[in-house]
Amino acid sequence: MKKKNNINKTTIQTSKVPKPISQNIIVLTLLISRYFFPISSSALQIPPPLPILPIPSSAQLQWQLSSMALFLHFGTNTFTDSEWGSGHADPSVFNPVGLNASQWVQVAKEAGFNRVILTAKHHDGFCLWPSEYTEYSPKSSKWRNGSGDVVAELAMAAREAGVALGLYLSPWDRHEPCYGKTLEYNEFYMGQMTELLTRYGEIREVWLDGAKGEGEKDMEYFFDSWFSLIRQLQPGAVIFSDAGPDTRWIGDEAGVASSTCWSLFNRSSATIGGTDPQ
């Protein structure tokens, strides 16, 4: 009699892998969804229009949005009662014993000004800070025993009050002997500019102009080099002159300006010192 071998058969169940959905079906599904459930056009982002050149820089926009700036013209002329000093006034006349820069800034702030601009040097050449390039400064006066620094005191007062600071440095210098020697004086001027832009913290505006009296020495100013230096040392500052490059003179010192003065300005035919309206 034959024995039966009982073999346990294991049944392995396999599942069928679904076939990939046809690409045509996916496209058809998307088309049907788009037809019955359209996307609202209001949900689509509309791209901004292309800008009309030129466009303002960040510093120009900040300047445009600021309210008002107060100009502080102070120096030996204050004590000699002159508009344009000759450059020969004795520095000992400069002795502002009651000077209080905090009071200047506080008055400016209460009146609604958010920026003060100081004439650090006017055409007479007297510097309101102890420049290392000339003795024609408070170093040669009795004020603060020869150690006074108007720019430093104003910078500290403005910083404490949250008021921005700007500085004016006159290109024309009626005191400096090297004025009229183009290379030598441009180096001198850039040296003084470097002092002002590296000693007193953030400077938000730098003023210069091309004013010069008749019969004065001929001088070529290296404006492009000056602008590059300012950009390097104070990149957030706007540069003022009557022909830009950032902010400009809109009229004359009598307060007369054209009836319409647009922000856009064609500088191609404008020269610094030569844009007074006729």
The per-residue pLDDT for range 165-192, each reduced to its tens digit, is 999 999 999 999 999 999 999 999 999 9
Residue 12 resides in a domain: no
CA distances from 233 to 63, 125, 177, 229, 271 (A): 18, 23, 27, 6, 24
Residue 22 resides in a domain: no
Q: Coil, helix or strand for 69?
A: strand
Residue 220 resides in a domain: yes
The per-residue pLDDT for range 88-145, each reduced to its tens digit, is 999 999 999 999 999 999 999 999 999 999 999 999 999 999 999 999 999 999 999 9
Q: What is the pLDDT of residue 20?
A: 53
Residue 65 resides in a domain: yes
Residue 45 resides in a domain: no
CA 226 to chain centre: 14
Which CATH number belongs to the domain containing residue 91 in this structure?
3.20.20.80
Q: Coil, helix or strand for 182?
A: helix
Neighbouring C-beta atoms of residue 24, cutoff 10 Å: 8
- CA atoms of 107 and 113, how far apart (whole Å): 9
pTM value is: 0.79
Residue 257 resides in a domain: no
Going by the DSSP 8-state scheme, the letter that residue 43 receives in this structure is: G
Using omega within 30 degrees of 0 as the cis cutoff, is the peptide bond preceding 54 cis?
A: yes
Name the domain count of the chain: 1
Residue 271 resides in a domain: no
Report the pLDDT averaged over residues 39-57. Answer: 81
Percent of residues, the chain, with pLDDT higher than 70: 83
Residue 203 pLDDT level (bands cut at 50, 70, 90): very high
Residues of the domain holding 67: 58-248
Residue 272 resides in a domain: no
DSSP result, 107-144: HHHHTT--EEEEEEE-TT--BSS--TT-S-SGGGSSGG
